[in-house]
Structure 1
Amino acid sequence: MSDVFERLKSAAQEDWDAYVNHMFVFRMGIGALPQAAFQRYLVQDYLFLIQFARANALAIYKSRTLADMRRAKAALSAILDVELNLHIRLSERWGLSSGDLEQAREEPATTAYTRFVLDCGASGDLLDLHTALAPCVIGYGEIGARLADSLGPAHLAEHPYREWIEEYAGPAYQEVAAAARLHLNALAERALTERRFGELAGLFGEACRLEADFWQMSLTI
């Protein structure tokens, strides 16, 4: 079977491009993203990750094999022990504690995307859930790697958003993204039919649109 993630991207190319090439990403890449927009993003993404941790906990419950359970546990650990800590470190520079982040109000774009993913998991199976998660989990790896490559080591060293870019371009997160892609393929081998592919492409496209709305929220609040 061909790479399912690439097939989903092709089926939802317009939505994918609007997400990964959003003005938020472009401005971050050239170092022109307003600090206030990045701060808003960090706060909302912290709340976002809490809900994504719940989605991976749901994946453990929905799993039918120990291998799937261990995969979901690893993804849950990556959020709770790595990604959330990055947000705390960055936010502390502006005087925001982890308590401040947890008590912040979820913006509608945050609620819309995270509850969409949780609903995909609650009403569907693991393939539905991981299709909805893929634009975020794998997409952030692609965005981080692209930004790092375009900047190069010299420019990245002085970049205002260096730590964020390095986190998602770095080997640890790239391994997470690669594992997510392989797991999506494994799930598809078990459960994907051509009739079902259209439904999954719809979920993937909607997740990309919600990701783009999330970037836009950070620019316009």
Structure 2
Amino acid sequence: MTRFDDTPFNTLVTRCEPQWLAYCQHDFVRQLGAGTLPHEAFRHYLRQDYLFLVHFARAWGLAVYKSRDMAELRQGLDSLKAIVDIEMDLHIAYCAEWGITEEELGLLLEARETMAYTRYVLDAGNRGDLLDLHVALAPCLIGYADIANWLAAQPFIVRGEANPYEAWIAMYTSPEFQAAAEAERQWLNRRLADQTPGRLAVLTETFRDATRLEADFWQMGLTAAGG
């Protein structure tokens, strides 16, 4: 089993280790790193990830609403603007490289797995406070950074033009994305450090459920391709 350090965020990870490893080392991820993932599995993932980004933006809008000081408000607003003004356009352009038009994206129906995770995140934020929302979002932002780093260290990974998913891997191993994930990790470390055992138990359940739903998002792609 993997061992994690004892920072507050990694306390959550350790408590949810089976779910975290099942997510970060999912067969979808392994096939993506090896370049063997069926193209239709990836296309299905890309389509649904567009819808996920829409709700991810809504979640950061909720973070703005839940903010209690200017630092929190700016953090939420910056994240919201980054998705709406930058990430969405990048995702649409990347989808086009895979033969998925912007018009098609606008007509998509949400898969059940997309609904389950995005509504869970929004519900966690609506029911709780800003920390509850960040914990529910953590498997996405921090998880993708950890997945990219894990893949980069695996002997089976194929890099460069031989892997059709090289651009995806490069995106999440990039210094910019890794810095954003580290900033979120440090924010969570500060907020989690002074929580009571009872509060940590609640947050652990949120983190565990969100991680399971993220793993379902991977499986969705494989299922769509008959895997």
CA distance in 1, matches of 2:160, 2:178: 20
Identity fraction in percent: 47
Q: State the distance in 2 between where 1:161 and 1:86 align.
A: 15
Cα deviation digits, residues 42-95 of structure 1 (max 9, x gap)? 000110111011001100000001111111122223322343233212211233
Q: Is 2:185 aligned against 1:181?
A: yes
Give the CA deviation at 1:151.
6.6
Distance in 2 (alpha carbons) for counterparts of 1:120 and 1:26: 30
Find the aligned partners of 1:207 and 1:45 in 2 and give their Cα distance. Answer: 16
Q: 1:31 to 1:25 in 2, by over 3 A?
A: same
Q: What is the aligned partner in structure 1 of residue 223 from structure 2?
A: 220
| Preserved contact between residue 148 and residue 166 of structure 1 (Cα < 8 Å) | no
Which position in structure 2 is the counterpart of 1:211? Answer: 214
Q: Give the equivalent residue in structure 2 for 1:145.
A: 149
- Aligned partner (choices 189, 192, 196) of residue 193 of structure 1: 196
Aligned to 1:106: 110
Measured in 1, the distance between the counterparts of 2:81 and 2:152 equals 25
AA matched with 2:220: M
Count how many residue pairs are aligned between Structure 1 and Structure 2: 218
Contact 2:8 2:193 in 1 (8 A): no
Question: 1:144: how far off?
Answer: 1.5
Provide the rounded CA distance (Å) in 1 between the counterparts of 2:175 and 2:102.
26
- Alignment partner for residue 134 of structure 2, among 127, 130, 133? 130
Superimposed CA distance per residue, residues 144-195 of structure 1 (whole angstroms, 9 cap, x where no aligned partner): 2222343799x422221011111111011111101111111232246x2111
Greater fraction helix: 1
**Aligned equivalents of 1:83, 1:147: Cα separation in 2:** 22
Spell out structure 1 runs of 4+ moving beyond 4 A.
none
Return the letter of the residue paired with 1:84.
M
Alpha-carbon separation, structure 2, partners of 1:5 and 1:207: 14
Calculate the TM-score normalised by the size of structure 1: 0.93
Q: Which runs of 5+ in 1 are unaligned?
A: none
* Most deviating of 26-35 and 176-185: 176-185
